[in-house]
């Protein structure tokens, strides 16, 4: 009998990618994916530990699912397994079972390929089973190779983990040491994604631009080299990569932005703060001026590049002056889009025990000042695209019937209603209006429809 699997994904794009890989692995073991938790035989929460709020959400969700399970047991006599995967699983391990003893499986991101064994040992064990190993084998070698694109834009993890140890961040502990997949593996997976419908590939890594893998020629490749090889794959239209660290923006990668047509003029390059004192305390190992210089070089290579960033306000010791330095940097650079967060002390990280933690109300005020500025920049950036004709790749259905949502090269979402367009089309669109977080457009040129090879 086929069993049903429901996965709920929190956090970053890598978790989205991981959820798909877990689903395809479990499909080989009789599980079919469903959107409806109430009909599932196995529910996996793929969790995020980056900020306290994200991590705490997991426990309230687990409580809800446990009540659902008990009702089903009572009313239908049916069982359901509950698994916690992702970064909360990795960071908290056994503690998940202490807080939620009814959980069946706790599995960290480096052990996903062992899920079938964990399911089997859960049947034998009396309590929950935990696997938060960093196994010697690579999960990528163990997971099934039959990846399928979920849509015209597909994620592809090429690098995982982090050795940089920013003092605010849990990632080095939850995802482990930095590893890069060999180029041949990446190219092979990219071909499969293209064959199954992808026209855009978004390369993923916690430090994606630190990727350095063995090339098919036996030499070590860097990300620029990998991007150039991907750009040769027939059927692919767009390449992006995320998330990057400023210190790994090497000359070749910057040059690729000016030379590789498929590489989109968009870059998510987290700066975190505009104050050198705070950057040093965060162990970012660059100054605000270093960041400015990188942006200048990127803009020299690709003048229209749209920049996105992450910011943390209220890191321990952040003064009013430091905060103003961040606002100044934002004003000078001009971001197309950004994410900003209040510092959240994470257990086990150096930042959490630093003196001079910033009071919550100060964080709130600084966050709203920063967000007002960033929102205004995003609004201006979107407004400046009105009247332009841009290539848009249509990625998903819109909320209204007949409407599709695509993206400009600059990552802006565009809503278009045109019965002629299909998902996966790349069409020229005139931008006719802007909203705070999206654009509206109308198609002006014949669509290049992509022939599904599968
Ligand atoms: N508190 C607040 N924000 C954080 N981030 C990472 N760790 C923390 C933390 N402890 C933010 C950073 C990072 C993004 C993914 O999340 O800005 O770039
Ligand atoms: Fe969250 Fe980081 Fe884990 Fe992604 S890698 S799920 S952002 S803690």
In whole angstroms, what is the distance from residue 383 CA to residue 379 CA? 6
Mean pLDDT to the nearest integer, 146-151: 90
DSSP 58-95: HHHHHHHHHHHHHHHHHHH----EEEEEHHHHHHHTHH
- Residue range 90-128, pLDDT digits in tens: 999 999 999 999 999 999 999 999 999 999 999 888 889
Compute the mean pLDDT over every residue in the chain, rounded to the nearest whole number.
95
Measured in Å, residue 452 CA sits from the centre of ligand 2 at 33
Non-local CB neighbours of 106 within 8 Å, separated by 6+ positions: 83, 84, 85, 89, 92, 93, 94, 96, 97, 128, 129, 130, 131, 132
Full strand arrangement of the beta sheet holding 3-9: 31-33, 3-9, 42-47, 81-85, 105-107, 129-131
Residue 127 and residue 154 in one domain:
no
DSSP 86-117: HHHHHHHTHHHHHH-TT--EEE-GGGGGGHHH
Neighbours of 372 (CB within 10 A): 11
pLDDT at 125: 80
The CATH number that applies at residue 161 is 3.80.30.20
Looking at all shown ligands, the one closest to residue 10's CA atom is: 2
Q: Residue 386, preceding bond cis, omega within 30 degrees?
A: no
Residue 368 and residue 435 in one domain:
no
Paired tokens of 206: 């916690």
Neighbours of 361 (CB within 10 A): 8
In whole angstroms, what is the distance from residue 183 CA to residue 233 CA? 13
Residue 30 and residue 156 in one domain:
no
pLDDT at 454 > cutoff 50: no
Residue 182 and residue 324 in one domain:
yes
- Residue range 167-202, pLDDT digits in tens: 999 999 999 999 999 999 999 999 999 999 999 999
From first CA to last CA, the distance across the chain in angstroms is 28
Q: Which of 168, 206, 345, 347 for a ligand 1 pocket mutation test, highest count of atoms within 8 Å of Cβ? A: 168
What is the pLDDT confidence band of residue 453, given thresholds at 50, 70 and 90? very low
**Which among 354, 383, 412 is the end of a domain?**
383
3-state helix, strand, coil in the chain (%, to 5): 40, 25, 35
pTM, to two decimals? 0.95
Residue 286 and residue 415 in one domain:
no
Residue 362 and residue 435 in one domain:
no
Measured in Å, residue 6 CA sits from the centre of ligand 1 at 28
User: Whose CA is closest to atom 6 on ligand 2?
Assistant: 48
The CATH number that applies at residue 109 is 3.40.50.12160
Residue 304 and residue 226 in one domain:
yes
Residue 186 and residue 124 in one domain:
no
Angle at 242 between CA 240 and CA 245, to 5 degrees: 130
What is the pLDDT confidence band of residue 146, given thresholds at 50, 70 and 90? confident
Residue 241 and residue 121 in one domain:
no
pLDDT at 127: 86
Give, as one character, the DSSP assignment of residue 359: P
- Residue range 47-93, pLDDT digits in tens: 999 999 988 999 999 999 999 999 999 999 999 999 999 999 999 99
User: What is the percent of the chain where pLDDT is above 70?
Assistant: 98
Query: Cα-flanking dihedrals φ and ψ of residue 358, to 5°?
Result: -90, 130
Name all residues whose Cβ lies below 6 A of ligand 2: 11-12, 14-15, 48-50, 86-87, 170-171, 174-175, 206
Neighbours of 74 (CB within 10 A): 9
- Residue range 211-239, pLDDT digits in tens: 999 999 999 999 999 999 999 999 999 99
pLDDT at 123: 84
pLDDT at 400 > cutoff 60: yes
DSSP 233-287: STT--EEEEE---GGG--HHHHHHHHH-TTB-SEEE---B-S-HHHHHHTT----
User: What is the percent of the chain where pLDDT is above 90?
Assistant: 89
**Which among 131, 154, 173 is the end of a domain?**
131
Paired tokens of 392: 């848009």
What is the pLDDT confidence band of residue 452, given thresholds at 50, 70 and 90? very low
The CATH number that applies at residue 404 is 2.40.50.140
Q: Is 12 helix (H, G, I), strand (E, B) or coil?
A: coil
Paired tokens of 328: 């100044």
Q: How many domains does the chain have?
A: 3
Find the domain containing 65 and state its range. Answer: 3-131
Q: Is 320 helix (H, G, I), strand (E, B) or coil?
A: helix
Looking at all shown ligands, the one closest to residue 109's CA atom is: 2
**Which among 350, 368, 383 is the end of a domain?**
383
Q: Which of 51, 173, 337 for a ligand 1 pocket mutation test, highest count of atoms within 8 Å of Cβ? A: 51
Residue 338 and residue 402 in one domain:
no
Mean pLDDT to the nearest integer, 341-346: 97
Residue 200 and residue 312 in one domain:
yes
Residue 393 and residue 378 in one domain:
no
């Amino acid at each position: 009998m086929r069993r049903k699997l429901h996965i709920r994904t929190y956090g970053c794009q890598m978790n989205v990618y991981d959820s798909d890989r877990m689903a395809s692995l479990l499909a080989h073991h009789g599980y079919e994916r469903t959107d409806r938790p109430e009909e599932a035989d196995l529910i996996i929460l793929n969790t995020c530990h980056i900020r306290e709020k994200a991590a705490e959400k997991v426990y309230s969700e687990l409580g809800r699912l446990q009540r659902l399970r008990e009702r089903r047991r009572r009313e239908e006599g049916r069982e359901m397994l509950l698994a916690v995967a992702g970064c909360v699983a990795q960071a908290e391990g056994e503690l998940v079972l202490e807080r939620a003893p009814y959980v069946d499986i706790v599995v960290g991101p480096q052990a996903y390929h062992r899920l079938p064994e964990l399911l089997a040992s859960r049947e034998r064990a009396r309590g929950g089973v935990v696997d938060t190993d960093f196994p010697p084998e690579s999960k990528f070698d163990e997971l099934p190779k039959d990846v399928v694109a979920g849509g015209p834009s597909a994620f592809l993890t090429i690098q995982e983990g982090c050795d940089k140890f920013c003092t605010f961040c849990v990632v080095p502990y939850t995802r482990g040491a930095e590893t890069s997949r060999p180029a041949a593996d990446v190219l092979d997976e990219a071909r499969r994604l293209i064959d199954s419908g992808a026209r855009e590939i978004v390369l993923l890594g916690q430090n994606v631009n630190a990727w350095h893998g063995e090339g098919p020629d036996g030499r070590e490749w860097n990300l620029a080299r990998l991007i150039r090889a991907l750009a040769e794959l027939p059927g692919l239209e767009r390449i992006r990569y995320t998330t990057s660290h400023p210190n790994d923006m090497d000359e070749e990668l910057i040059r690729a932005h000016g030379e590789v047509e498929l590489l989109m003029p968009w870059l998510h390059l987290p700066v975190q703060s505009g104050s050198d004192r705070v950057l040093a305390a965060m162990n970012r190992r660059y100054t605000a001026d270093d960041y400015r210089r990188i942006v200048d070089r990127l803009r020299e290579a690709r003048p229209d590049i749209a920049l996105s960033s992450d910011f943390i306000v209220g890191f321990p010791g952040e003064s009013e002056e430091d905060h103003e330095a961040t606002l100044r940097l934002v004003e000078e650079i001009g971001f197309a889009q950004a994410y900003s967060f209040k510092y959240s002390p994470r257990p086990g990280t150096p930042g959490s025990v630093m003196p001079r933690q910033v009071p919550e109300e100060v964080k709130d005020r600084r966050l709203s000042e920063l967000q007002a500025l960033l929102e205004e920049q995003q609004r201006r950036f979107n407004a400046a695209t009105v009247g332009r004709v841009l290539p848009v790749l249509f990625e998903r259905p819109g909320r209204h019937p007949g409407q599709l949502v695509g993206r400009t090269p600059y990552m802006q979402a565009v809503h278009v209603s045109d019965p002629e367009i299909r998902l996966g089309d790349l069409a020229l669109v005139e931008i006719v209006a802007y909203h705070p977080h999206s654009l509206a457009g109308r198609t002006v040129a014949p669509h290049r429809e992509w022939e599904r090879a599968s």
